[in-house]
Structure 1
Amino acid sequence: MSAASPGAPGAGVAKDDATPDRRWLVLAVVALAQLMVVLDGTIVNIALPSAQQALGFSDSGRQWVVTAYALSFGSLLLVGGRLGDMFSRKWVFVAGLVGFAIASAIGGGAGSFVVLVTARALQGVFGAVLAPSALGTLVSVFTDPRERARAFGVFGSVAAGGSAVGLILGGVLTEYFSWRWCLFINLVFAAIAVAGALVCIRGGRAPRRPRMDWPGALLACTGLFAIVFGFSHAGTAGWTAALTLGSLVGGVVLLAGFILAERHARHPLLPMRVIVDRARGGAYVALGISGIAIFGTFLFLTFYLQVVKGDSPLATGLLFLPMTGSILISSNLSGTIGVGPRALIAAGMLLCAGGLVLLTQVTVTSSYVSVVLPALLILGVGLGLIFAQTINTATAGLAREDSGVASALVNTMQQVGGSIGTSALSTIALSVAATYLIGHPSGPQAAEIAATHGYTTAFAVSAGLLGLGFILALVL
């Protein structure tokens, strides 16, 4: 997984001739927008119990508040990325911010379950427009390798640590204000980012403006929708449910058709040159594996701290702070280490696997300081290395007209990987917990012990996946 070569396609990309000071302001604006998108997942999860009580929807309805966002966001990312390639990335970025803010306002003011779910779906639509254009803007602004490494270190730390920030912010807003502010807060972020974008980001289109591949877009959107829906549905209906199996099989068939169609399309939505590069393709694989392993880990660790250990949502968020700090440090230092991305990504995979192995040792009586804290610190260092280096490598050496769709693929791998990991690992954890309760139906803290057994098994599986990622990072 070596760095993209200077002679790679796009080595002669059109450069944004921004002054150094303005480039770092652009980074601040883009990082704020990315933070808004990333933390939205966990901040809404924290708000869900209060929203359910206020609006009176069922437990099954809670899943739709999460799934509505995941479906629209995951299925439309490639199209959103191509829009940034086709039009002025500045105005696509601003449109995504404004749309996301409006959807957040609708959700925050929702008086019914239907309005809330609709708002979440709209957030996903505009998030799919916003996220690729944010990353694509960085690709075009930071072309110097040393500055680019530092910029992607910052961006990677936001991508990896935003979920933990969402836990903290969600806990504060829910506990001291209202669950509605977990959505209204996006208006503040968006207003600052829009103002910054209008001042700092320049317009402009690609020298060769690509066209939209509508057949490819239809295949990609429906295929990704089916995959994300299938894994989400498996979490509630089971893996053998007809709708689960039909969605997953249909999604695979549609995506296979998409790849075949793209090989012969005159204006492909996803040009094969973007993914056949060995370094770039390896980075996408690493992002997918880390998404599968890590997204579920955050969920189970949150449950462990809140359900088993009895910590409040706010306290749980604060307990994730050390990991956020280690992510910030490692992601920013990774760009200054004189080692290639392959070694750094492999090291990150190995560190994350080690952190998860440590988490397999937690019990209902474990203290935070003795087990969870060191595991979080190790995970943070590993995640900082993985995200900074994979995002940088996945978007290096691209032509201007390909940077948007390549950036979208970064988000797609994370989103689809997260959906797969959360659903599959949840099934494993629930199965292990149920088996434990059959053999130990009663006793003090039987439910908590069973849940912990499920979590530690999921941590072990995730560690194995990251071990595979370590090997692939060395080979690809």
Structure 2
Amino acid sequence: MSTLTHAEPQIAMTGRQKLVLTLLLGAQFMIAVDFSILNVALPVVGEGLGFSLTHLQWIATSFALAAAGFTLLFGRVADLVGRKRLFLGGMAVLGLSSLMGGLATSPEILLIARVLQGLATAAVTPAGLALLTTAFKEGPLRERALGLNGALMSAGFTAGAILGGLLTDLLSWRWAFFVNVPVAALVLALAPSAITDSRPAVRPKLDVPGAITVTGGLLALVYGLTQAGETGWTTPTTLAALIAGLVLLVGFWFVEQRADAPLVPVRIMKRRSVIWGNTAGLIAFVTETSLVFLLTLYLQEVLGYSPLATGLAFGVLGLGTVLGGTLGGRAVGRLGTRATIIAGGLVQAVATLALIGLGTSGSSIWLLLAATFVGGVGNMLVIVGFMVTATSGLPDEEQGLATGLATMTQQVGITMGIPIMSAVATARMTALGDTGAEGVLSGVSVAILVNSALVLVGAVLAAAFLKRR
């Protein structure tokens, strides 16, 4: 006890570190909000700008393609040009593209704005995480900072649904874009003097073949997954995109083995902490974001909730993720990353499994609120454990690479979860021949079961392959 008491003053954050943390976390929270803020407003946006129903998905897909496809590339670019410079440039593009989206008068302008928002996200997220990990050395401070970062990223995804509903109902869908502008301006005003830049001592060359294969592979893979959710897994377009994505990603592995200055050194990809830490993170993001989608279907199609009421119901999940994020750093410090990931995964799996008890009665909302709160805590324990695992044991000059990989895992997980679970729920409804409330409930229940099993698999893999503390 005395040792812990004496050590406490040594791990207190300085005033400058608190300001840096606030700026970086504010930016990351805004990025997370952008993933979901338009989800409940898509039909209104479509009506306002003349999107056809079949093309409405591209408002979300255009953003996701750019955000997931270019993250790893920009993570490396941050090491080349400086993380601070890329972070500030990305925030400027995010603010301007958000203004462009809010002022859009046609589908084409809106989609261009969404692509630019996605590219800005791909730049800001890994650069911001790299600045965070280099501002806080390995140990309790970094674990606390990454815990708060994970909590706000997950809470931001939930808050986006709430905020999108509120802004759309009270003002206009355009404010889902405009809300970014003052936040970006504030970060750009304060960050240049507060944040210290970091970059490798020797500037490496950019691996162009690696950049082309990994970016093309991720774009094709995310596009294929998105198409699977829209048109099914066996359509020619879906299969062609998925196969092309896998071929390019396999090609990326071989390109990196021969490159003089690889985008991702093979020795990094062979590290157990990187492989299995990112696997745990991928499963955490796939399952929690897709669960929000499944429960949105349940609340609106079975219980008849409005978009705004649906968004507010997820506020409890947001509270759970914030609590899990604040506990995550402490759990990693006491238990280690492996035990934290396993414990969080088991809690999330059990809480998700409990949702199979949802029914058509309005009283089921209490089960949903309790289970999503507990599951949110467990999910954030996994995410914090993943972030610490995936960025530990590497020198500062490789933090941009490590955070780029971690961010790519996050973006791909958020993007691919919904089409996977949507396909599972749709297959069940098709088999029953029922798209009414009972059919939707059955489809959602089967997908929830698959979701829970996937979380359990992640916990088992972490137990089997991550090193003990």
Q: Name the structure 2 match of 1:452.
A: 441
Contact preservation (8 Å) 1:354, 1:378: no
**SS state at 1:397 partner:** coil
Instruction: Report runs of 4+ in structure 1 exceeding 3 Å deviation.
Output: none
Structure number with the bigger relative contact order (C-alpha 8 A, sep ≥ 6) is 1
Q: In 1, distance between residues paired with 2:228 and 2:329?
A: 39
Q: Which moved more, 1:391-400 or 1:217-226?
A: 391-400
Deviations 1:232-256 (A, max 9, x none): 1112222111111111111111100
Of residues 425, 432, 435, the one that matches 2:428 is 432
Q: In 1, distance between residues paired with 2:328 and 2:34?
A: 26
Query: 1:200 and 2:194 equivalent?
Result: yes
Query: 1:471 and 2:460 equivalent?
Result: yes
Q: In 2, distance between residues paired with 1:295 and 1:239?
A: 20
TM-score under structure 1 normalisation? 0.92
Q: In 1, distance between residues paired with 2:273 and 2:68?
A: 24
Cα offset, 1:341, TM superposition: 0.9
Unaligned runs of at least 5 residues, structure 2: 1-11
Cα offset, 1:66, TM superposition: 0.9
Cα offset, 1:285, TM superposition: 0.6
Contact preservation (8 Å) 2:131, 2:197: no
Q: Which moved more, 1:192-201 or 1:240-249?
A: 192-201
Unaligned runs of at least 5 residues, structure 1: 1-17, 439-445
The amino acid that maps onto 2:55 is G
User: What does 1:291-370 correspond to in 2, within 5 Å?
Assistant: 291-337=285-331, 338-370=334-366
Contact preservation (8 Å) 2:352, 2:448: yes
Q: Name the structure 2 match of 1:216.
A: 210
Cα offset, 1:365, TM superposition: 1.1
Q: Name the structure 2 match of 1:87.
A: 81
The amino acid that maps onto 1:367 is S
Q: In 1, distance between residues paired with 2:225 and 2:339?
A: 32
Of residues 105, 108, 122, the one that matches 1:128 is 122
The amino acid that maps onto 1:64 is W
Cα offset, 1:204, TM superposition: 4.3
Of residues 53, 57, 66, the one that matches 1:63 is 57
Q: Name the structure 1 match of 2:390.
A: 394
The amino acid that maps onto 1:344 is T
Q: Name the structure 1 match of 2:451.
A: 462
The amino acid that maps onto 1:468 is V
**SS state at 2:57 partner:** helix
Query: 1:179 and 2:167 equivalent?
Result: no
Q: In 2, distance between residues paired with 1:327 and 1:370?
A: 18
Of residues 58, 67, 72, the one that matches 1:73 is 67
Contact preservation (8 Å) 2:131, 2:198: no
**SS state at 1:335 partner:** helix
TM-score under structure 2 normalisation? 0.93
Query: 1:25 and 2:14 equivalent?
Result: no
User: What does 1:222-261 correspond to in 2, within 5 Å?
Assistant: 222-261=216-255
Contact preservation (8 Å) 2:134, 2:198: no
Contact preservation (8 Å) 1:139, 1:396: no
**SS state at 1:212 partner:** coil
The amino acid that maps onto 1:346 is I
Identity %: 36
Q: Name the structure 1 match of 2:3.
A: none
Query: 1:271 and 2:265 equivalent?
Result: yes
Contact preservation (8 Å) 2:317, 2:373: yes
Q: In 2, distance between residues paired with 1:420 and 1:405?
A: 22
Cα offset, 1:306, TM superposition: 2.3
Cα offset, 1:369, TM superposition: 4.7
The amino acid that maps onto 1:125 is L
Q: Name the structure 1 match of 2:413.
A: 417
The amino acid that maps onto 2:410 is Q
Q: Name the structure 1 match of 2:6.
A: none
Q: In 2, distance between residues paired with 1:390 and 1:234?
A: 28
Cα offset, 1:366, TM superposition: 4.7
Q: Name the structure 2 match of 1:10.
A: none
Of residues 3, 6, 28, the one that matches 1:34 is 28
Q: In 1, distance between residues paired with 2:232 and 2:433?
A: 19
Q: In 1, distance between residues paired with 2:369 and 2:13?
A: 41
The amino acid that maps onto 2:338 is R
**SS state at 2:330 partner:** coil
The amino acid that maps onto 1:116 is L
Distance change in 2, residues 1:369/1:310 (3 Å): closer
Cα offset, 1:19, TM superposition: 7.6
Q: Name the structure 1 match of 2:368.
A: 372
